[in-house]
Amino acid sequence: MPRKSSSGEDGLSFDSDGGEASQSNSSASYDSANNSGARSLPIKKISAKLKQSRFGILLAVIVLLGGSSFSIGYLVSENQHPISLVDQAIARVSSGDPHSPTEILLQRAAIQAVLKATKDRWSNYFPPATATAFDQILQGRYSGIGIWLRRTSLNTLEISGVQPKSPASLAGIKVSDQLLSVDGVDVSNVTVADAIATLRGSASTQVTLGLLHNGAQISLNIVREAVLTGDVLASQIATNTLYIQVSAISQHAAQDVATALAKYPHSRGVILDLRDNPGGVLNVAVDLASEFLSPGPIVSYDRKGGSPQEMSSTNTFPETAPMVVLINGATASSSEIIAGALQDRNRAVIIGDQSYGKGTVQEISELSDGSQLEITVGQYHLPSGRAIDQVGITPDLKVSESHEIAQAVSILAGLVALDSGKPAVKK
């Protein structure tokens, strides 16, 4: 198929085959005529030869200089940053189609297409406004309805976490519900970032959600609220027994757990509830696990092209009370790291059901316009070396969700009895 010479690619190809080769051949001929020839001919013959070939030499010099200037121009253009194919396409669409979207929208579409091509469902692109909202969620501040979203392997939008006492929780939204529409607009095929943006809004405003809930399509009208933190709830569930529910690993989660441990007596044990916890910030998960672990490994991962990254506890005075951790099928990502590290290091009894199995680490980087890319950079490995991606954490004891807390209290009683050498008393 013929190529147009106006194309950047065709121009470079022509320069390489024509200009560069012409310069090389002309230079070689010129050197040969002036060096080896001068050594083999007498001076008079050289003079005659030069007179006879003045035109030829002049032509050679012109070709040489022309080739050199051509080559210099080529090198200068090579040292400049060439426009990428994507930029070329966007520029042509923007200038040629009077009805095309803005250049910014086309750039965002290109970025999303790049992420889609990776076939990594955990990678996301957040435009500037949505990036701000995402940061606020990670920091534990919500201006919306209090849910976390994820893209499933079937490419549906799924509720991955519900903040306790949030508008979503009070409306009856559950983890694993599918989000179908927002204010009547189908969102089943939009990105997680775009779905988050549609859910955002000022406090006291209403939003209508279409959901697939328990196999049936329902519609819910929910009033948005501004909610601060609230991802950690703590209470004394029995005498000297502390119950801590962590619904997401947001920025203040580890600090809130430390506050709960300092506030409530818990000599008879701690129940850490990670059920329906979608994960969150990795270093916060490490800090939270470190509250209960002595110095040693918690999690590691391999970065592409880099050395393994290991994150460890450095706590020389960790919490030592007996401990039970509750997990279920919606316990995911960094919350699985907490449960897995406590299990691998024999610090807690894990009960409940197999966890979700999201064992890849994402890194967030900011682009020049304030937007953010969330891309997968490695796979988690627990202290024992095992990976959890698409596997999850297997509990030490499988317990139905309705009996988990009662079973946890019973296990703690047994652990306390073992420590004291006395038989556990059934209540």
Question: How many domains, the chain?
Answer: 3
* 77 DSSP assignment: H
Do 288 and 342 lie in a common domain?
Answer: yes
- My answer on whether 309 and 393 are in the same domain is yes
- Please tell me the distance from the alpha carbon of residue 147 to that of residue 107, in angstroms, as a whole number: 29
User: What are the phi and psi torsion angles at 294 (to 5°)?
Assistant: -75, 170
pTM attached to this predicted model: 0.68
Residues 60, 170 share a domain: no
191 and 270 part of one domain = no
The reply to whether 356 and 223 lie within a common domain is: no
The C-alpha atoms of residue 67 and residue 74 are separated, in whole angstroms, by 10
**Strand bridging mode 360-366 / 349-352:** unpaired
In a domain, 426, yes or no: no
Q: What are the counts of helices (DSSP H) followed by strands (DSSP E) for the chain?
A: 14, 19
Q: Is residue 120 part of a domain?
A: no
Which amino acid, 232? V
CATH code, domain with 164: 2.30.42.10
Residue 100 in domain: no
Residues 402, 413, single domain; the answer is: yes
Q: Domain check: are 317 and 354 in the same one?
A: yes
Measured CA to CA, the distance from residue 222 to residue 210 in angstroms comes to: 11
pLDDT digit string (tens) for the chain, length 427 residues: 433 333 333 222 222 333 333 333 333 332 333 333 333 344 444 444 444 444 444 434 333 334 433 333 333 334 455 578 888 888 888 777 777 787 788 888 888 888 888 888 888 888 886 766 666 666 555 557 888 888 887 888 999 888 888 899 999 999 999 999 999 999 888 878 788 878 878 788 999 999 999 999 999 999 988 765 568 999 999 999 999 999 989 888 999 999 999 999 999 999 999 999 999 889 999 999 999 999 999 999 887 777 788 999 999 999 999 999 999 999 999 999 999 999 999 999 999 999 999 998 888 888 888 888 888 888 899 999 999 999 999 999 999 988 999 999 999 999 988 877 655 544 4
Place of tokens 């129940």: 271
In a domain, 93, yes or no: no
Q: Are residues 182 and 244 in the same domain?
A: no
> Which range of residues forms the domain containing residue 210?
141-227
Same domain, 275 and 322: yes
User: Cα-atom radius of gyration of the chain, to the nearest Å?
Assistant: 33
Residue with tokens 């200089």: 65
Residue 1 domain-assigned (yes or no): no
Same domain, 285 and 395: yes
Quote the CA–CA distance of 190 and 198 in Å, as a whole number. Answer: 10
Note whether residue 24 is domain-resident.
yes
Residue 160 belongs to a domain: yes
Clarify whether residues 47 and 163 are in a common domain: no
Residues counted in the chain: 427
For 282, other C-beta atoms within 10 Å of its C-beta total 21
DSSP tag of 174: -
CB 284 within 8 A of CB 263: no
Q: Which amino acid is at 389?
A: D
CATH number at residue 315: 3.90.226.10
Residues 6+ apart with CB under 8 A from 239: 268
